[in-house]
Amino acid sequence: MASSSPSDRASFWGEVGGALGDLGTLVPLAVALITVNGLPATGVFFGFGVAYILAGLFYRLPIPVQPLKAVAAIAIARGLSGSTVTAAGWWMGLFLLLLALTDASRWLERLFTRPVVRGIQLGLGLMLVRSGVALASRPQVVPGGEERVVHLAAQAVPLGWLLAALTVGLLLWGLRGRRWPPSLPVLAFGGVVALTVGGAGRLLGTVRLGLALPVPALPRPNDLAAALVWLVLPQIPLTLGNAVFATVDTARAYFGPRAGRVTPRNLLATMGVSQLVAALFGGLPVCHGSGGLTAHYRLGARTGLAPILIGALCLALALFVDGNALPFLALVPYPVLGALLAFVGVQHAWLARDLRGWEEAAVALLTAGVGFATGNLALGFGGGILLEQAVRLARWARARRATSP
């Protein structure tokens, strides 16, 4: 058997580290939707596993799979049932496949100009940083664990802040070296923290190994109606902006010609198929995302092996732990997730550095500012489109005045 060269080993570990780079988005939302909304853990991780493996095999790049963020946030805030969340997956899957089959992305692409896309990327980056700080501020160190605080100057401070600061230091140290991707020592540190001060060992004691197959689930008419009004309509602009056009732009920025398969039509098709698979088994609606791509890339992933690895891990959590995957998620503490999420947010916002001129900057800043302030990138997208059209109209009026006698 031929031995691997050092560069091959480094590349493999880069794929491993990058595969785990987007846990900051997956873990908190999955835990909340399973515990608050009643989604079956088997269905959730089965859907993620299939979608990740499909993405890795088709694109051959670390294209991410993430929860539909607007759907997840609204469902958690309103306490909607798991069947309503699943019904949103049926709607989104059929809608995205319709767009792919009709090649509607050709005319939709005109709305998502470079300044608007940069604004979406900047706004998402800022939102990721904010979410990272919120995760690090939780009183619990791990999902389902006890609250932990430290006392500084007679003031109770969440232990997560201290652990997040240590994680950032370890992450910066890891970025200086080239032998290991920075996410691996960070996640190893997180595992030690989870088992010591986080109480994850007690949670792991509840795990029972056993085969648990996903169960098909069909939505009821009232679930479909509620999902369309509360979940699907707010999600569509965000999916088109971030999961389609911003993902295409981000893939081209990182991979150049290798991103030839990452087109709007292909992304719509793979998301549509993934949505329907997840919905069929009562899982969480999923999508791609430009922030997730930055997470995988910046933490070491360069090929389709990374999504295949994380997909295989999700399938294992779905099928072989008797339907109880949550204790394993406790091995990644909230402060570690928060630090990784904030790091990815900074890296993703940095994509907006190539804006040219005050007009592009104004459109991008308005898109990002409205999206960040409201927590809704779809509103930011609308504001950016209006400003861009106003700028074009003003430019046209100036040109007409200059040419008129």
In the prediction, which pLDDT does 141 show?
86
In this prediction, residues 302-318 reach a mean pLDDT of 96
Phi, psi of 155 (to 5 degrees): -115, 130
In the prediction, which pLDDT does 156 show?
73
Residues 54-84: pLDDT tens digits? 999 999 999 999 999 888 888 887 889 999 9
Listed residue (342, 336, 338, 334) closest to 140, CA to CA: 334
Residues 338-357: pLDDT tens digits? 898 888 889 888 988 888 88
Question: In the structure, what pLDDT confidence band is assigned to residue 4 with cuts at 50, 70 and 90?
Answer: very low
CB contact set of 188 (below 8 Å; sequence gap of 6+): none
In the prediction, which pLDDT does 327 show?
87
In the prediction, which pLDDT does 152 show?
67
Statement: residue 6 has pLDDT above 50 = no
In the prediction, which pLDDT does 293 show?
96
Question: In the structure, what pLDDT confidence band is assigned to residue 405 with cuts at 50, 70 and 90?
Answer: low
Q: CA-CA distance, 100 to 94, in Å (whole number)?
A: 10
Question: In the structure, what pLDDT confidence band is assigned to residue 249 with cuts at 50, 70 and 90?
Answer: very high
**For the chain, what percent of residues have pLDDT higher than 90?**
45
Answer with the residue of higher pLDDT: 25 or 145.
25
In the prediction, which pLDDT does 106 show?
83
In the prediction, which pLDDT does 10 show?
44
Q: What is the pTM of this model?
A: 0.85
CB contact set of 395 (below 8 Å; sequence gap of 6+): none
Statement: residue 298 has pLDDT above 70 = yes
Q: CA-CA distance, 340 to 20, in Å (whole number)?
A: 10
In this prediction, residues 294-309 reach a mean pLDDT of 94
